[in-house]
Structure 1
């Protein structure tokens, strides 16, 4: 596997790296009139390192991304300017390093749903996310130029072809990889996939930022409204691709069937933001297409996230072929996790 953009993944356990990162954090907090008051609480994944740091004005969160998700820092800074009511405004970011320092966002939607599993919480959260997407649609080209991955329908067929050439990531023939039969079927599927992408693009709904991992653990639910975070999987894409992970995560959490009317209602709550521009039939067709095509986007985002020599990546490596195999699901909400 080739390291993203030729960058070398950082060694987060290296003492010199930690001193440099901590110095940056302390400098940024000092500029904001804050100081650390207790020990760091770390969390490390192959794609990122997160520190929770207590300060005299409440906890803050430092995040360092690997090369495959480094765009998150510049993206959250841009979103904070475009839709400040929908995301946390960072205390500081270093786009080149892929570092961000954020205030605490309070409890998550998952916390709220743990006390009250009423799906009306999602009915209120989804329109705000749609508004964020609409607010950034005019910046799609600029976001791609800043390094946010381009997953627009026009380029997805070429991305799928390139992914199929990466036999190492697809683990062809391995127990947790693609079977040779599924691999050949995917090869044969390329023309049909390209045709579906063309149809989605022809519907004319503007591409924008697409979170690609929007579940209840990535939404803050505070008294001032919902804010959306953890943008490491994000791309510039058809907006409705979001629905694949979001509706699937809701389905699993609530043990609903894939065709439950409550999921349809949530889909329609989200699509409502576009009804002043498109009729319902067009929106539903676009949503179905975007969810069907979205398995490729998920596979690509996992490949970027796992573009590291960290041995812990092996724990997640099956996600790349696993998502890609779901391209053949009759109902993407019915497929596996």
Structure 2
């Protein structure tokens, strides 16, 4: 990768500190002490910097083929839809570095499911807002990943021994069936005529912050322009329950100008397999790009993503 190989070096850390200090000073902010590491792995590094006006967060994102340019995209989102995302005060698209104002962090994994419903309702509003900004978002580093491209991409992956050697034999034996079923689902979903929007790509509760009664969405490295229901991956994986029904209803209710609820529910159900295929393609891309050492923390997620597309 272009920037992660030296993330542990003192030279990289010095350059990050210098860049952070210089950019904070442009806004009249005085750093107090040095950057403190919050988290880091092969996909990105996050630090926080104390200042005379509280904490600001620095993030470096890996350059990966199916990653959007997060720094550039977040700057644009902060400009176009500031009520939905943390404020990005500065960024470097060449380095994929950015500094954001402290927004309190994500909700905990154990957060009440009622918060999921409110958050996904707000996500639908953000997605709809994004429709009028699609071209600007693409220019600002957001990839276009059409669902109609998925069958070809999935077929290439399932015929690539560099990927399939790490998968159960079932994928080799059933690859034609898998691709056909995904293609069939995509053709069916396309018939509902739901417009492409911005898609977060990794939307779980820990990538959502609550500010009073509103929600902010962050960690946009997996973002793309695609079918909005691609963002339902984590909801699809929930066990069937009243909570899950409430979340789905809250989200789909915001699309009522396109179709009645029953039709939207059919579209949502059709999107499930497509969501899983989209995510499997993302993980295959990581597998082909990252070293074995860098993939260590992602191996289980890679396998899980593929196993979800297998027929039950």
Q: Same fold (TM over 0.5)?
A: yes
Show the counterpart of 2:174: 185
Asked whether the equivalents of residues 47 and 305 of structure 1 are also in contact (C-alpha less than 8 Å), the reply is no
In 1, Cα distance between equivalents of 2:297 and 2:206: 20
Asked whether the equivalents of residues 298 and 323 of structure 1 are also in contact (C-alpha less than 8 Å), the reply is yes
Show the counterpart of 1:14: 9
- Is residue 124 of structure 1 aligned with residue 118 of structure 2? yes
Asked whether the equivalents of residues 75 and 89 of structure 2 are also in contact (C-alpha less than 8 Å), the reply is no
Of residues 298, 307, 310 in structure 1, which corresponds to 2:279? 298
Unaligned runs of 5+ in 1: 252-257, 331-337
In 2, Cα distance between equivalents of 1:166 and 1:138: 38
Asked whether the equivalents of residues 4 and 42 of structure 2 are also in contact (C-alpha less than 8 Å), the reply is no
Q: State the TM-score, normalizing by the size of structure 2.
A: 0.89
Show the counterpart of 1:33: 28
Show the counterpart of 1:268: 249
Show the counterpart of 2:60: 64
In 1, Cα distance between equivalents of 2:124 and 2:83: 13
- Is residue 156 of structure 1 aligned with residue 140 of structure 2? no
Q: State the TM-score, normalizing by the size of structure 1.
A: 0.83
Asked whether the equivalents of residues 45 and 61 of structure 2 are also in contact (C-alpha less than 8 Å), the reply is yes
Equivalenced residue count is: 308
Structure 1 residues 65-80: aligned runs within 5 Å: 65-68=61-64, 69=67, 71-80=69-78
Of residues 262, 277, 282 in structure 1, which corresponds to 2:258? 277
Cα root mean square deviation, aligned: 2.3
In 2, Cα distance between equivalents of 1:160 and 1:142: 28
Unaligned runs of 5+ in 2: none
Show the counterpart of 2:102: 104
Which is further off, 183-192 or 46-55? 183-192
What's the CA shift for 1:244?
A: 1.7
Structure 1 residues 165-184: aligned runs within 5 Å: 165-170=159-164, 172=165, 177-184=166-173
Change in CA separation of 1:107 and 1:15 when aligned onto 2, cut-off 3 Å: closer
Change in CA separation of 1:297 and 1:26 when aligned onto 2, cut-off 3 Å: same
Change in CA separation of 1:302 and 1:55 when aligned onto 2, cut-off 3 Å: farther
In 1, Cα distance between equivalents of 2:35 and 2:153: 39
